[in-house]
A and B are shown apart, each in its own frame.
Chain A
């Protein structure tokens, strides 16, 4: 069973982070939500493994309680 990689992947993490956040700069909260939903759908489809998606959902949901 494939599992979600949670170790660091990117050589240039700041570049990736900047790209993920910059696209929201001019957006309303509603449009931000929609843009992120598109990203999630595209990436989830690329991953194409329900177990991996489940794991990511579980981690994200669990992690929310830390806030």
Chain B
């Protein structure tokens, strides 16, 4: 249900990370998103009036994966594509213009009172997922906490339309001539729309800041005097980094911005929301089908909080670098920027946003800890890494169920099939197998157990069926 009757336009998320594309691949919409979006892998950081970057980074250090590190795509396109795809499912109903006004729950479900322009009604469900944004109505109705840190800074977003040939890269400036003492950010979006973002400082008149005559000098300063542009969207935002203490409250589960909020630097807001949905969906599916106890939902609370905390930590650190809180902190930031051009070690301290990558849960109760000594590969609790495989890609073949990735492990496929585990034998692939085997470091006889959300649950150098059974039970929350 959406209290709005339409997909909201305006400046929302625009950067979608590789992990999100991998998730969308399983939903069958990644290609549509990528075809519409602007692909990018490289970010550049500028300082002062120098026209060369002091530093640049590649967000996809491991090549030969199906998806790029990022696409830029306006959130309204993302939502349109998802809604269109959902309409193909006859067991899904989307209700627009329906607003929750009251909620209560029992031990085996929850009921929500709904208000619509046509009248109100009640609905009961086994589970309610509150994805109702940072001003979550459900959270407020339940009187739940949402604690964190407020940052005293304002940022101007100018989404503007113009035609100019520029590389598809993320450009970030510290102290540029067109915004002295502050930072600025440029992203390319589809349809010749560009996201320009300018740090304004704390004491500003926000209504004045979005007037076209006040926005124009910023835009001109960044893109030049000779470029014709038109406004798509201007707004000023502030942000907070905070989260709920728990995301699971009985039969009501919080996901996305309703549960956690971060600064936009790092593209960790919307990508974090998609991560929640992906983590939650397969668990709820197993519970609803009777293949797991409802206690499995606790692992969502744990894993989504680990994810939120990592996102908040990174986003808070980026903010501290951009808006230092003391004179000493200003000095360190400027020292890093001065040093960075000439001294590579200092580049690693430059923080213009640590961009969203999959978060690991090394201590999740769903993992079976390694018993063997592994040198490399993908440890339990981490997202599986893609590799070419045959004519296609490894992650596509893993799909959205439990899977065994093996190197002639000797495990019996029929036995595994009875547990609804698919098997991919890397030893039978063609020349591409060496890349996959190298990424997973699976010796002959070894195997990985991979979860439906393509996280590693367990791995063995010498795999036994009983170990797989135990690890599977554990990954379903039964231990």
Contact = CB atoms under 8 A, between A and B. Distances in A.
Do A and B actually bind? yes
Interface stretch (A1-9, A14-22, A31-39, A56-64): A31-39
B331 A37 contact: yes
B327 A41 contact: no
A62 to B, nearest CB: 17
B336 interface: yes
A51 B339 CA distance: 24
11 contacts: A30-B330, A30-B331, A33-B327, A33-B330, A35-B335, A37-B336, A38-B339, A40-B332, A41-B339, A42-B339, A45-B346
Contacts, number: 34
* Residue from B332, B335, B339 having most chain A Cβ neighbours under 10 A: B335
A9 to B, nearest CB: 23
B220 to A, nearest CB: 30
B121 to A, nearest CB: 58
B61 interface: no
Contacts of A40: 332
Contacts of A35: 335
Nearest to B328: A33
A38 B327 contact: no
B345 A34 contact: no
A38 B338 contact: yes
A53 B328 CA distance: 17
Nearest to A45: B345
Interface residue SS majority, chain B: helix
Contacts of B346: 41, 45
Contacts of B349: 41
Contact of A36 (B331, B343, B345): B331
Contacts of B327: 29-30, 33
B332 A41 contact: yes
Interface in B332-363: 332, 334-336, 338-339, 343, 345-346, 349
Contacts of B345: 45
Give the 6 A-B CB pairs with smallest separation, nearest first. A33-B331, A37-B335, A38-B335, A34-B331, A37-B332, A37-B331
Interface residue SS majority, chain A: helix
Contacts of A37: 328, 331-332, 334-336
Which size class do A's interface residues fall under? 10 to 19
A45 B330 CA distance: 19
A36 B334 CA distance: 11
A36 B349 CA distance: 16
A56 to B, nearest CB: 15
Contacts of B343: 42
A6 B338 CA distance: 30
A50 B121 CA distance: 59
Contacts of A42: 339, 343
B336 A34 contact: no
Given A37-B332, A42-B339, 5 more contacts: A29-B327, A34-B334, A37-B334, A40-B332, A45-B346
Interface in B295-317: none
Nearest to A36: B331
Nearest to B327: A33
Contacts of B335: 34-35, 37-38, 41
A61 to B, nearest CB: 12
Contacts of A41: 332, 335-336, 339, 346, 349
Nearest to B336: A41
Nearest to A38: B335
Contacts of B338: 34, 38
B334 to A, nearest CB: 5
Nearest to A39: B335
Nearest to A48: B345
Nearest to A31: B331
Nearest to B346: A41
Contacts of B332: 37, 40-41
* Residue from A29, A40, A45 having most chain B Cβ neighbours under 10 A: A45
* Residue from A37, A40, A45 having most chain B Cβ neighbours under 10 A: A37
B224 to A, nearest CB: 32
A54 B470 CA distance: 41
Contacts of A33: 327-328, 330-331
Nearest to B334: A34
B338 to A, nearest CB: 7
A49 to B, nearest CB: 14
Contacts of A34: 331, 334-335, 338
Nearest to B338: A38
B208 to A, nearest CB: 30
Contacts of B334: 34, 37
Contacts of A36: 331
A35 B349 CA distance: 16
A36 B338 CA distance: 13
Contacts of B336: 37, 41
